[in-house]
Structure formats: structure tokens, C-alpha cells
Structure 1
């Protein structure tokens, strides 16, 4: 069985079809189709139902996804191990990350990693909840994951490297009556228009808990696109509760950032699969161990 055929198979699964996969792989669709047929012959079963231009996974195709990811990941680990002899001059590291942590500490971590290993590219995979991050790491879709959770992550499914905590802050537009202050009590969110994230996120869990405590507010907008938060706040749509990873970029954009009292925090952690990881992942973890959740260096 050719490992390249497994990579092609996974590309079709991840990109949702032959056309998009061929484009992403920079190969012709006929070549991609031939490779999949060769894989099907090796396995003795069809992996896709071909209905017109659509390709729908068969039961056998679904069953292959996990083992295929593990095989491809193992090959990449083997290649990275060889490249480690040459001080990680080339390679790739896949990191799944939640949106707010992609602001910080991921930016600082990648900058430090790239300075030491400029030949290794870092591919950031989007995940919106800590559960999604853990699942992507556990199944091999990403080798490392960066997440925020209301408590420490269990090490039953993944290995955990604690990076510290981030507190919740409030983003307000420059013309807000609150803009001249540095702190705000959580009870003062009553009666305000809030921009919230989707269910399953830490920021959403925080504001939902406030509502359960009797703090009545209006949801002005609910967004899965975290990049929309700042424009919505600056546009006067409402205020937003986020983690302090947004503090610097929000201030630079013109928003005001207030600490919410009493302080409530999320635990920030880097996670990996149990067992051996690639040299690139090992180097990234070592860098993370010396960096705080806000991107600052630690002792």
C-alpha cells in the first residue's frame, strides 16, 4: 500500500471532494482518481460512492479514516526524526487552536519557534471548543492543540502542558460611558447589549453563567467568527466579554479594555497525544514551557 494513496484519500475527506482535493494537492483529478482506485484495489473494497460529481464515503471509507491518519502521522514522525539530525531544517507542525488563544499565546509561541527553526512551517488548524481541540489531537488531525478550559484538562485522552491562566475582560467602543474606566463589576453588564460567541466556548459559558445568576442582558449578536468581535464592538453594536489575550490587539484597534471583577479565569494548556511526538512538536512544547498564557516569558 502506497502511503501517498492514503494522503490522497485523506485530502478528499478533508476537502470534501475530488476537485478540491486535487487543487489542494496540485495534482490533476484523473491522477487523484487513479490513486484512489489503486487504493481500493489494494483494500478490495470501494471507499466512495460516486454519484455524479459527488463522492460519498462508504462504510469502509469511514473505517479507514482513523488508521489512515495514524499511518500518515507515523510517516511524518519518521521523516521528522530523520530531519532532526539536521536540526529541524525542514518539516511541518500541525497545531489545532481555539480562536482567542490563536491571538495569544500562539502568536508568541510561533514567533519563538520560527526564530529557532525557520525551516519548519506551522499549520494552524481551527477549532472552536476545547473538545474539538482534544478530538483533533486524539485522532491525529493535529499533533498539538492549544486550548482554554474552565478547569484543568484531564490527561486521560491527551498529555497536558499547563501554560497558565487568562482572565475575562470587557471590550467596549471608545465612545462608551465605560471607556474611561479600567475595571467593571460583572453585575454592571445588566441591561447592556452583548456580543457573544457560540455555545461550547468559554466566553459563552461565562456570560450564560451571569444570566443564571440574575444578570439580565440583551444578546445583540452571536458569532462563530471571532474575527468579527472587534469590528462589531467598534461599530457600536455592543460590548464583548473575551479573554485577556485580546487586550493588546483590541487597544491597538481603538477599543477600550476593562478588567471584569470579580476575576474569573480560564486555564490555558497545550495538549498532545500520549506517547512519542515528532521532534518539531517536542521543540514547540519546550518553547511553550518557558512562555506564559499571555505570551510573556516565565522563569
Structure 2
């Protein structure tokens, strides 16, 4: 039994005969009759009494009408649902992102995407390291990923495009050790208490590189919860080295934000699986990546 057979069966019921049903369906009458005969063989019973050119429903045929209509409606609903997703009138897009990049540029990207495709829900999945983001995309847990990296990333596993660079900045409490300044030399972090992220992140790698250069600071706190950074700074626990995606939020919260010299930056990249992207993923990618650079 297939949906085409049920559609043919219902056409005979609604049109009152095989000839009229065949004309309505734009198929030959023998083809229509053959399809209905195949359906009867599958069900093991006749659905119509053939009386001359008339087709009179059997009891089994009458019993099939309601479930046949339900099956056809379900298929039409499935087709409509797929069409909505294909045409981006509905659906969902899963994006894996590292925390700082979820602040920016992901916020701006989602805002632009939502303005164009308000029916599509963007679901952001947390990933703490570049390797986590790549793994989520490679395994299909997310269709797209947003990551930042100081060194080379194995992009051979995914398709990637660098969107921007984010330099490191220092977030300090108002009236802190560098009050009134716009920049600080990395050497001046010696003797300071720093709040750091977990190993494996670009922010942590940068702070560790300062120590490797002989800049001796103390570690006031280590946190995987990036949302805790600003409260900890404002509470006077220590200073935090973050990417400048945090600049506006930190300043609005009342913190001081200083550039760290010399400038050091992370590359922010959007990644996806290789091959065909879903309509939503393709639209998001096309919005973020300039034409011709894919």
C-alpha cells in the first residue's frame, strides 16, 4: 500500500467512477484501475463492486475511506511542513558557540537573521573550546559553529570562514589600579590578581603566555562560567582578560575596559559541515559570509 494508491481510491470514491477519476487525475483509466487492483490485493479484499461502468463501494471500501483521508491529510501536512522549512517560514537552526563569541558577533548575526527569517528559531549550544565547537558541527549536534582561535585550527574537518579578529582587553573595576587610562602594557599586569577561564580557551592560552614571558601575576579565580567574569570583577575579586566582544557590556555594567598592548587577537570563524547545508544553515551562512568567499 502506498499513498498514491489511496489517493486514486479516494478519487474514485469522490468522482463516482473510474473514468471520471482518471480524467480528474490526468491518468489513463487502465493505470488507475491497475493501482486500485494492487491496493485491493494488498488489503486482501475488494473495495468496489464493478457494475458496468459504475463503481459501488463494498463494506471494506466504506471502512477504508476515513483512514485513507487521514493518511492523505497527514502526507499533505508533512509536505507543507517541509515546504515551510525549505522556504524558511518555520524551522530551527542549531549553532554551537564559544561563550565570548556568543556575545559578539553571534548576537548581531542572530539579530540580522531573525529580521529576515522570523519564523526560524536559532538554538545556541554552549561549547567552551574551539575543539568542542568543531566536534559539535562534525558530529551533527549543531549545523553551524562559531569559534575563536589564536593558532591553527584543523579546518580540514569542516568548512570555515574567518569573520573577524577580536583583540584582548582588560576589564577592571571602576577606580581600580588603572583608573582613567585607555590602555595598559601587558607587563603592567605583573603583581595583579587575574580572573581566568578554564584551560583550552583562547583567553586562558593568552594569560598563560604572559606567565611564560615572565609576567608574574596571581590567579584570583578560575571559572568555566563566563557570565561570572563581570560580577567577579565588579566585586573586586580581580581583573579579567577577555576579548573585546565584552567591551560594550562591561562598560554598561560600570567596569573599566582597557586595551592591552601590544595588541594580540583571536581569529573568529564560522564553520559548517562540508557538503550540502540545510536551507536555514545556508541562509545564515550566506548572510554572514560575503559572496564569493565561501
Q: Same fold (TM over 0.5)?
A: yes
In the alignment, which residue of structure 2 is the partner of 1:241?
241
- 1:170 pairs with 2:170: yes
User: 1:54-80: CA deviations, max 9, x gaps?
Assistant: xxxxxxxxxxxxxxxxxxxxxxxx998
Contact 1:170 1:241 in 2 (8 A): yes
In the alignment, which residue of structure 1 is the partner of 2:31?
none
User: 1:197-226: CA deviations, max 9, x gaps?
Assistant: 000000100010100110000000000000
Contact 1:153 1:160 in 2 (8 A): no
Unaligned stretches of 5+ residues in structure 1: 1-77, 291-299
Aligned residue-pair number: 212
Contact 1:161 1:271 in 2 (8 A): yes
In the alignment, which residue of structure 1 is the partner of 2:181?
181
In the alignment, which residue of structure 2 is the partner of 1:15?
none
In the alignment, which residue of structure 2 is the partner of 1:213?
213
Contact 2:85 2:91 in 1 (8 A): no
In the alignment, which residue of structure 1 is the partner of 2:122?
122
- 1: CA distance, partners of 2:185 / 2:281: 40
- 2: CA distance, partners of 1:160 / 1:80: 30
- 2: CA distance, partners of 1:126 / 1:200: 14
Using the TM superposition, name which of 121-130 and 155-164 deviates more.
155-164
In the alignment, which residue of structure 2 is the partner of 1:281?
281
In the alignment, which residue of structure 2 is the partner of 1:268?
268
In the alignment, which residue of structure 1 is the partner of 2:3?
none
TM (normalized to structure 2)? 0.70
Larger Rg: 2
- 1:133 pairs with 2:137: no
In the alignment, which residue of structure 1 is the partner of 2:143?
143
Q: How does 1:1-299 map to 2 (within 5 A)?
A: 82-83=83-84, 85=86, 87-289=87-289
TM (normalized to structure 1)? 0.69
User: 1:67-118: CA deviations, max 9, x gaps?
Assistant: xxxxxxxxxxx99863355x30000000000000010000000000000000
User: 1:246-296: CA deviations, max 9, x gaps?
Assistant: 000000000010000000000000000010110101111122125xxxxxx
In the alignment, which residue of structure 1 is the partner of 2:72?
none
- 1: CA distance, partners of 2:166 / 2:174: 23
Unaligned stretches of 5+ residues in structure 2: 1-78
- What's the offset of the Cα at 1:156? 1.0
- What's the offset of the Cα at 1:140? 0.4
Contact 1:80 1:278 in 2 (8 A): no
